[in-house]
Amino acid sequence: MRRRSSCRQCAFTALLVALLATPGSACAGTGAKVAFDVVADVPLPGDTSRFDYESIDAERHLLFIAHLGASEVLAFDTQARKVVARIPNVGHVHGVLAIPELHRVYASATGTDEVVAIDEDTFAVTARVPGGRYPDGMAYAPQVRKLFVSDETGETETVIDTDSNQRVATIRLGGEVGNTQYDAVTKHIFVNVQSRNDLVEIDPASDKIVTRIPLQGAEGNHGLLIDAQRRRAFIACEGNDRLLVLDLQSHQVTGTFSVGSGPDVLAADPSSGRVYVASESGIISIFESRESEVTKMREADIGPNAHVIAVDVVRQLGYFPLKNFNGAPVLRIVRL
């Protein structure tokens, strides 16, 4: 039988728990796993199979979610908090990217090796374009109106002209391809080549490789996020569960941090400098990107298989599709 603690001991314990649960506290800043405020768990249609990328169109208050296992794209109204459309027959959909200026969403269908164009107003499929052997992540270069698609196992980057919805180039990268991102400052495309542990820079005007950047400490660099304002790339390595910080001017890795097991999708709030890394283990790791340095703030267990995040920067909300929460798929919405 355990002895009862004194009132003073109880008060101390309560204070310690409060400190651990407070974002930004000294304990939280060292990487303690801190709970988020769950705003809602919204039921999603379909079966308890894997979800993948998400993309927000803030103007239309729409969140597009790739339900990989169900081969469909979900359109979720972030104001009404409900699914307003289900776009079927997008085989094993991995990537999804909303491009508001085109009133269009693109989805990479690895089941049919296509990139599927979806009209944002009608939710109708308007085109299907060859995407290589295993189309995955995507990025849009607005000045040339081209879509760049990671062909993971094909070891190439597929380039699609969004005016004609035709493939116009295939760029050989010489290794298994991770995620693809656009840099608004250089107006270039950056691509992880995860089997070579390097980052490739592409000029979208010529569709030519500008440079290859070796990533010291990388193992399986898959996830990618460009902080254009602060001239950094954040690179999530699924082989060793690390986040690398790359200086885009010096091409040097300036920081390495531990993250949850199986890091996948990254998201950011440019106004606050917050960077979020979602992992297969359900752990989200939060960093602050300042002008002078990057620091790890805290971590939290979001839920089973919470490897995908989308951030609503206006409402300060994070969206996590969970494939199986108490026997059903849900969209977990948390306050960031």
User: Domain for residue 81, yes or no?
Assistant: no
The per-residue pLDDT for 36 is 83
pLDDT bucket at 29, cuts 50 / 70 / 90: very low
Q: Quick: pLDDT tens for 45-89.
A: 999 999 999 999 999 999 999 999 999 999 999 999 999 999 999
Residues 6+ apart with CB under 8 A from 80: none
User: Domain for residue 113, yes or no?
Assistant: no
The per-residue pLDDT for 170 is 98
Q: Residue 261 above 60 pLDDT? A: yes
User: Domain for residue 288, yes or no?
Assistant: yes
User: Domain for residue 286, yes or no?
Assistant: yes
**Residue 196 backbone dihedrals phi, psi, to 5 degrees:** -110, -5
Q: What is the mean pLDDT of residues 1-27?
A: 35
The per-residue pLDDT for 201 is 98
pLDDT bucket at 9, cuts 50 / 70 / 90: very low
CA dihedral of residues 155, 161, 166, 170 (deg, nearest 10):
-20
Domain ranges, residue 271 = 32-48+218-336
CATH number at residue 222: 2.130.10.10
pLDDT bucket at 297, cuts 50 / 70 / 90: very high
User: Domain for residue 256, yes or no?
Assistant: yes
Three-state secondary structure of the chain: CCCCCCHHHHHHHHHHHHHHCCCCCHHHHCCCECCCEEEEEEECCCCCCCCCCEEEECCCCEEEEEEHHHCEEEEEECCCCEEEEEECCCCCEEEEEEEHHHCEEEEEECCCCEEEEEECCCCCEEEEEECCCCEEEEEEECCCCEEEEEECCCCEEEEEECCCCEEEEEEECCCCEEEEEEECCCCEEEEEECCCCEEEEEECCCCEEEEEEECCCCCCEEEEEEECCCCEEEEEECCCCEEEEEECCCCCEEEEEECCCCEEEEEEECCCCEEEEEECCCEEEEEEECCCCEEEEEEEECCCCCCCCEEECCCCEEEEEEEEECCEEEEEEEEC
Is 109 within 8 Å of 131 (Cβ atoms)?
Answer: yes
User: Domain for residue 222, yes or no?
Assistant: yes
Q: Around 58, how many Cα atoms within 13 Å sit in the side-chain half-sphere?
A: 8
Is 153 within 8 Å of 133 (Cβ atoms)?
Answer: yes
Overall domain count for the chain: 1
Q: What is the mean pLDDT of residues 260-282?
A: 96
pLDDT bucket at 33, cuts 50 / 70 / 90: low
Neighbour-count burial of 26, counting CB atoms closer than 10 A to its CB (0-12 exposed, 13-18 middle, 19+ buried): exposed
User: Domain for residue 138, yes or no?
Assistant: no
Q: What is the mean pLDDT of residues 173-194?
A: 98
For 229, the token pair is 């304002």
pLDDT bucket at 14, cuts 50 / 70 / 90: very low
User: Domain for residue 241, yes or no?
Assistant: yes
Q: What is the mean pLDDT of residues 221-247?
A: 97
